[in-house]
Amino acid sequence: MRSRFGIRLFSAGGFDNRSLLNAILLLDASAFPDDRLAFLRSMTRLHTMVAAGALAVLALSGCRSVSPPDAAETAPRTAPGGQRQESVRAAPGRPAAARPARDRYREVQVDEPVVAITFDDGPNPRQTPLLLDILKERGIRATFFVVGRSAAAHPAILQRMVAEGHEVANHTWDHATLGEAGSDETRRQILMTNEAIRAAVGKGPVLIRPPYGRTNPTLDRWMARELGLTVVLWSVDSSDWKHRDPIRVQAEIVRAAKPGSIILAHDIHATTVSAMPATLDQLQARGFRFLTVSELIARDRSPRIGQ
Ligand code: NI
């Protein structure tokens, strides 16, 4: 019994209050003979004193009890193709108070008929300007999850997006499947894209959509805490990349949209862009208003979690 407490209290992770509490609760709940109980209680008091002393030393030396994921300080200095570039500093991240309630959104809980329409994989020099014309005619603002490589090639399209009230967000450098939180490649994909957006429009993004929606809670948390990026997936999938049929794009979106929906489409397909006038007109006729994803998240009425 003693050795078990000893192992629990002095385990590799250091001292922790929960093990201590468990040990005390176990002692109180046990029906030991009085002398053994007294001995164990005195051992627990001794452990408490040693643990408190050790915690004080750790606190004074500035140790943290839980190691964060590998912090993203800089991106690699070599761009794809071997081109040298300046090191990219990580975004400082939003202060905790300004962070959304969640690290990841598929849709947003709202009380009003508002939705966000999002376009991935651009900017595309042919299709994106046509789409921007369609949105402008209707006074609709959207969110563009851009691929960093294309953003760097077409900064003027990003500038037009921002000038017309749209939100520009991160969709990795070359549409990579993101890997482990803090890994060199994940960091490079994200930070180079942040930098391409910042270079074009003077301000980095606050949202990211991992390609194929492939992410996990550890990655979400790392992106939120270390990079100040909230993960945005979708609740309405137009499947436009698959069927390339304007009638189906329109039908899928109009059928599935509800208050708080985040709608997924791609501004690299002519069929998607040609579906938009009728799609947007029908949604507006049904009373929906369009917000950028950040505006929609700002209206989130769900309780705060994951903080
Ligand atoms: Ni994509």
> What are φ and ψ of residue 196, in 5° steps?
-65, -40
CA 265 – ligand 1 centroid, Å: 9
| E runs forming strands in the chain | 104-105, 114-120, 143-146, 167-170, 207-208, 230-232, 236-237, 262-266, 289-290
Residue 166 bears catalytic tag: no
pTM exceeds cut of 0.85: no
Tell me how far the alpha carbon of residue 211 lies from the centroid of ligand 1, in angstroms.
Answer: 5
Residue from 120, 121, 220, 267 carrying the catalytic annotation: 120
Is 47 a catalytic site residue?
A: no
Rounded CA separation 303/278 (Å): 36
Least confident of 1-5, 64-68, 271-275: 64-68
pLDDT band at 32 (very low <50, low <70, confident <90, very high): very low
Residues 6+ apart with CB under 8 A from 27: 37, 40, 41, 44
Q: Tell me how far CA of residue 83 lies from CA of 78, 148, 183, 198, in angstroms.
A: 6, 15, 21, 19
Q: Ligand 1 center to residue 171 CA distance, Å?
A: 7
Please write the tens of the pLDDT for every residue from 153-163: 999 999 999 99
Q: How far is the CA of 263 from the centre of ligand 1 (A)?
A: 13
Render pLDDT for 236-271 as a digit per residue (tens, 0 to 9): 999 999 999 999 999 999 999 999 999 999 999 999
More confidently predicted of 37 and 228: 228
Length of the chain: 307
CA distances, 63 to each of 15, 53, 92, 116, 192 (Å)? 13, 14, 22, 43, 31
Question: Ligand 1 centroid to 223 CA: how many Å?
Answer: 18
pLDDT tens-digit profile of 179-231? 999 999 999 999 999 999 999 999 999 999 999 999 999 999 999 999 999 99
72, 185, 69, 216 alpha-carbon torsion, rounded to 10°: 130
- pLDDT recorded at residue 94: 56
Mean of the per-residue pLDDT values for the chain?
79
